[in-house]
Amino acid sequence: MADNLAPSSSSTPGSPAEGTVDACPSMRALELIAGKWALRIFPALENGPVRNNELLRRVGNGISQKMLTQTLRELEANGLILRTIYDSVPPHVEYRLSPLGESLNRTLVGLDDWVRAHWSDMERIRKSQVDSD
């Protein structure tokens, strides 16, 4: 796995310099999905297509329509979700995970399982470090 985290070589002008953390595809992908809202959108879409208002409700926790739209556009631009516009009266839009997004979501579920299994250990270690300082 360490090889996958190695910076990629890049010769495109304006792209991250070779050998920098910014050139690492894994780091760039994590920046995309680690935002406050993106990680909440994946589980909200994991059971199939969802309309905008329902997605806003599922993500919850104070997300604005503007921020939801911005995050959805970014995920769509990176091929992680699909947006379907229905020509109906009234027109409506549904969002769902793309095959690429479904693949990523399986990894995120695995990460969530790991965190649930080990979070108390991490808290215990962190507390012992703070107490020893």
Q: Which residues contact 26 (CB under 8 A, 6 or more apart)?
A: 4, 5
**Beta bridge partners of residue 83, listed in sequence order:** 95
Which letter, b or e, does each residue of 104-123 get, where b requires 16 or more Cβ atoms within 10 Å of its Cβ?
A: bbeebeeeeeeeeeeeeeee
Instruction: Tokens for 89, please give them.
Output: 């009266």
What is the C-alpha separation between 131 and 133, in angstroms, rounded?
6
* CATH level 2 (architecture), domain 48-119: Orthogonal Bundle (1.10)
Q: Which of 66, 108, 68, 100 is nearest to 82 (CA)?
A: 100
56 — pLDDT class (breaks 50, 70, 90): very high
- CA angle, corner 119, sides to 32 and 31, nearest 5? 10
Mind listing the pLDDT tens digit for each residue in 75-120?
999 999 999 999 999 889 999 999 999 999 999 999 999 999 999 9
Q: What pLDDT score was predicted for residue 16?
A: 61
Mean pLDDT of 51-55: 95
Q: What pLDDT score was predicted for residue 1?
A: 45
Instruction: Tokens for 39, please give them.
Output: 């990680």
